[in-house]
Structure 1
Amino acid sequence: MPVDEEALDRAFTALGDPVRRALIARLSRGEATVNELAEPFEITKQAISRHLQVLEAAGLITRSRDGQRRPCRLNPAVLESLTSWIDGYRLAAEARFRRIDAVLETVKEQEK
């Protein structure tokens, strides 16, 4: 499956900031407005909005309009694609470790 390198770069760059990771963690529990997301931080709502713009540009969140509310929501499909990309490398590494374990077990049996 082809990987969109630019999308990966945007997502990992967005997740490289601790405030944005905290926003993602909060949104993993459900939608929230900018005001709700800004509550635990000692930074301005404008700063939170800029962080949200980065997350939205990376496709990690979506924003909608619900009357006067503008809730932000996590986009789990993008997180899933990041997880799948990482998993490919994890599985390859695990396969190498299993082969090393098998070789070591063979050597151990031969030493007996």
Structure 2
Amino acid sequence: MKRAFLLLGLPLCLLAQEASVPVAPVFEEGMTVEGLRSPFYDASGALVAELMGGRARMGSGEVADVEQLRVDLFEAGERRAQVYAPVCRTRMETVEGVQQLVAESEGWVLVV
């Protein structure tokens, strides 16, 4: 059974750090990236989430297969929740004009 979950459920998180350069020209299909880390800040500059992954392999467009995905969610400077998936596929999706990062996992997902 495929499980889908919105990472960084607050659309504001990604809106605050929308990339000015599209992902596709930077990462080519088949390219592998190890030790990725991407913090997300709100409009005031406060850390709201941090995405970490052991290895990501780029697919077509903005789709990536990620191993050891972990997302820490912060509130008032403190970690409030953590989402972990050993293997998942991520993609960018626009919902009501706001870009959101979506991750889908065929396996288990741990939320702490």
TM-score, normalised via structure 2 length: 0.23
TM-score, normalised via structure 1 length: 0.23
Greater strand fraction, Structure 1 or Structure 2: 2
Greater helix fraction, Structure 1 or Structure 2: 1
Larger Rg: 1
Q: Between the two structures, name the one with larger relative contact order (CA 8 Å, sep ≥ 6).
A: 2
